[in-house]
Structure 1
Amino acid sequence: MTEADEPVDRVDARDRFLAVVGRGEAVREGWLHRVSVTVCRDREGRFLVHRRSERAARYPGHHEVGFGGAVAAGETYREAAARELVEELGVRPVVRPVVTFLNRTGLSPHWLAVHEAVLSERPSPSGEEVAWHGWSTKDELLCFLGAGLFTPDSPEVLRRYLAAANRERGQIT
């Protein structure tokens, strides 16, 4: 099965289930579906940034602040976040939901759930998914976002993550 054939839940503007469709069809038709990403941090609060593989179907070679992908049909956002971390980084941390929003950046509109994970184990990225990874402070990441080639949703993912985290826990350092 190709990525385009992966079954996903087509949802409405309130994130309610409508039908199971192929991911490629959802993107091509502009149908809302679900995507889940995780912002990974270390115990010092640094962010794990990565560059997508040149073989990636979407945005090859672009940098990202979140690890993730489409939520499979019948899967929860949290289940998808945990699965994607295993597939992309080879880690199994506790995944905590942070914010979900209707994202209109990228290839097509979709509901995007942002999660957080604090990594205590060393990532072992999949070469199929991740070409490079490294840790950045918040200030370094903000500079990097302005100067680098990132996926279209990365700035919004980080903005919403920081806003939600600041509301919940106070200022992030």
Structure 2
Amino acid sequence: MGELVDRVDEQDRVRGVVDRGEAITHHWLHRVATTVCRDGEGRILVHRRAADMSRFPGQYNFLVGGAAEVGESYEEAAARELTEEIGVRVPVRFAFKFLCRGEISPYWLGVHDAVVRTDITPDPDEIAWHAWVTEDELREMARRPTFVADSLYALDRYLSRGEAARADPLP
């Protein structure tokens, strides 16, 4: 068996434990936790996924994250994924979640905020390239077909929250 995740229902209640690959194949809901990383100047981290990734290879994204493991909260998963993917341990703050119908499979997507004031060390197996960009630059990049389509649903929600919701409340 591969990566185990909680299978959840339309209200995000746990209904069992399944293999993530099986959840995707059968379009069973599960949880994914992501983080929007900003630097000290308020710029947003954008990255290109490695070319050999199983999902969205070589595409650009502004969300760092992945599946929540069995019993893991969205916040725990988001913090773990930051460490695994970009090599940092910083506080994450839950922003919102929504049922994402996804290009490959549906899932509950938890989106978090984090401020990263240290150098990052991307895992080359996950991230091939990265840069810090302004919101306007991110909007422009997101118009390209090489941007992960699923993340666009989150981008609209994230940017529509307004400046006050995206202020730097984290230490």
Q: TM-score, normalised by structure 2?
A: 0.93
Q: CA deviation at 1:128?
A: 0.5
Q: 1:69 to 1:165 in 2, by over 3 A?
A: farther
1:13-66 alpha-carbon deviations (Å, 9 max, x no partner):
000010000001100000000001100001111110000001211111000010
CA distance in 1, matches of 2:133, 2:104: 27
Give me the whole-angstrom Cα distance separating, in 2, the residues matched to 1:112 and 1:166: 21
Q: Any idea what the Cα deviations from partners look like across 1:110-150, whole Å, max 9, x if unmatched? A: 00000010001111101010000001100011011113511
SS of aligned partner of 1:114: strand
Deviations 1:77-133 (A, max 9, x none): 001001100110000111011010000022100000000100011111010100000
SS of 1:153 mapped into structure 2: helix
CA distance in 2, matches of 1:135, 1:169: 16
1:24 aligns to 2:21 (yes or no): yes
Q: State whether structure 2 residue 40 is matched by structure 1 residue 43.
A: yes
SS state of the match for residue 100, structure 1? strand
Q: Is the CA contact 2:141–2:147 (under 8 Å) kept in the aligned structure 1? A: no
Contact 1:8 1:20 in 2 (8 A): yes
* 2:115 corresponds to which of 113, 118, 128: 118
Distance (whole Å) between structure 1 residues aligned to residue 166 and residue 109 of structure 2 = 22
| 2:149 partner SS | coil
Partner of 1:56: 53
SS at match of 2:161: helix
> Percent same amino acid at aligned positions?
51
- Residue 163 of structure 1, CA deviation: 2.1
CA RMSD, 1 decimal? 1.4
- 1:168 alignment partner in structure 2: 165
In 1, the alpha carbon distance for the partners of 2:141 and 2:118 equals: 25
Partner of 1:12: 9
Question: 1:72 aligns to what?
Answer: 69
Q: Which moved more, 1:61-70 or 1:160-169?
A: 160-169
- In the superposition, the TM-score normalised over structure 1's length comes to 0.92
Assess, with a 3 A threshold, how the Cα gap between structure 1 residues 111 and 130 changes in structure 2: closer, same or farther: same
1:168 CA displacement: 3.1
Write the distance in 2 (CA, Å) between the matches of 1:13 and 1:27: 15
Q: Is the Cα contact below 8 Å between 1:104 and 1:110 reproduced in 2?
A: yes
Alignment of 1:137-152 (within 5 A): 137-152=134-149
Q: How many residues of Structure 1 are paired with residues of Structure 2 in the alignment? A: 167
Q: Is 1:128–2:145 an aligned residue pair?
A: no
Unmatched 5+ stretches in structure 1: none
- Paired residue for 1:85? 82
Any idea what SS the aligned residue of 1:81 has?
A: helix
